[in-house]
Chains A and B, each alone.
Chain A
């Protein structure tokens, strides 16, 4: 026990003396450099604030320069990452700007008064049925307003406003299963009813047998329809089905004039219907 106690006493005296020597005598050039190497390897930072001068005392300048270069390298690497993110954001903004410029130009050409709105919410379970836009009654949007979309310089009918709230509205798309649009071929003397089927294609019914309709023809909204302004492109005929023996009209598949599920902005046309007709439409 006494031997153990002696050993403890010797050890503490020895190590206290060593510690005191390390404390009292300024660190040598080599010792201080080794210290900074080990410290910097584990915590690569030279930002010690007011302690910085004390920390780097006795360390050769060329060695400190290496550490500073490493610090600069880390800062620049972080900056490059930030710039890459900024670059991507700028590219996205430029693309949006290009698209909006094109769409604004087109909207001036269609001679219809209205407001722009962003598509803010789509329901994955009703992808071709409806979506929400960020404008509502506060922006002057009314029930059954026509919704128009733009794509690659092409304007096309997207749907109509189905529900109106103060700050947003729900749009019923022409591809919705309950949606229908009276349409016609420009210059032709017949009309058909384009009905949504819940997919990306429309089906046009009630085309009289013998009508001059063929694949690739463009259908537009008919003047006979109450809801939509006339002449808006609805879609292009993709396939004409032959007449069935039990029917007295022919049908056709029509692909919408614009890609409905890729719309980001839409133009809501303000159409002032006569009060009597508004009641009829609401029913």
Chain B
């Protein structure tokens, strides 16, 4: 199953993200499924694999967007490494800690991405409504996504 399972998870996550943003956005705002998947994968997977996952999830968002190419890849790679460091000191298995992590990391990644875009392309990609609402939507999505990923790991030994 190994690599094929990983590819399937990647494609499936991308499809869900695409479908959700295309059909279930409310006032243009929806949870960032790819972010939730990246965060969950970073918590569950081993460090090197988690970083690879996050990099590829970032590339997927870069492909979809119209801004800097590689900005999400860099952001999520660093986020994965940050989570690897945090895991050694904090328990991120419980839903409460995941919600707090999702709230904090959504804001941090958005600001980091904003900084990169302004510095390198002078583009302002951040929308205020997304900045205000998305962290909370992600905080809901992350524990759910984490549960799915844990099930996949238990049943098919993926991630």
A interface list, Cβ under 8 A from B: 4-5, 7-8, 10-12, 15-16, 18-24, 27, 31-32, 35, 38-39, 42-43, 48, 50-52, 54-55
Contacts and interface: CB of A to CB of B under 8 A. Distances in A.
A18 B74 CA distance: 8
Main secondary structure of the interface of B (DSSP, over half): helix
28 contacts: A4-B47, A8-B48, A10-B48, A11-B47, A11-B51, A12-B80, A16-B77, A16-B78, A19-B55, A19-B73, A19-B74, A19-B77, A20-B74, A22-B62, A23-B71, A35-B62, A35-B63, A38-B63, A38-B64, A39-B63, A39-B65, A39-B66, A42-B22, A43-B22, A51-B67, A51-B125, A54-B66, A54-B121
Most chain B beta carbons < 10 A, residue from A38, A42, A43, A48 = A42
A23 B52 contact: no
Contacts of B74: 16, 19-20, 23
Contact of B52 (A11, A24, A51): A11
Contacts of A15: 51-52, 55, 73, 77
A43 B120 CA distance: 25
B48 A11 contact: yes
A283 to B, nearest CB: 64
Interface of B: 18, 22, 46-48, 51-52, 55, 58, 62-71, 73-74, 77-78, 80-81, 84, 116, 120-121, 123, 125
A281 B47 CA distance: 96
Most chain B beta carbons < 10 A, residue from A18, A23, A32, A38 = A23
Given A16-B74, A51-B123, A54-B123, A23 B48 contact: no
Most chain B beta carbons < 10 A, residue from A12, A19, A51 = A19
Contacts of A35: 62-63, 69
Contact of A8 (B22, B78, B84): B84
Contacts of B52: 11, 15
Contacts of A22: 62, 69-70, 73
Contacts of B71: 19, 23
Contacts of B67: 51, 54
Contact of A43 (B62, B64, B77, B84): B64
Contacts of B125: 51
Contacts of A23: 68-71, 74, 116, 120
Most chain B beta carbons < 10 A, residue from A11, A35, A48 = A11
A23 B116 CA distance: 9
A19 B64 contact: no
B34 to A, nearest CB: 12
Contacts of B73: 15, 18-19, 22
A15 B116 CA distance: 16
B47 A7 contact: yes
Contacts of A39: 63-66
Which A-B residue pairs are the 8 nearest by beta carbons?
A22-B70, A8-B47, A19-B74, A55-B66, A23-B70, A7-B48, A15-B55, A11-B51
Contacts of A8: 47-48, 51, 81, 84
Nearest to B60: A38
A32 B66 CA distance: 10
A16 B55 CA distance: 9
A48 B48 contact: no
Given A38-B64, A39-B64, A27 B77 contact: no
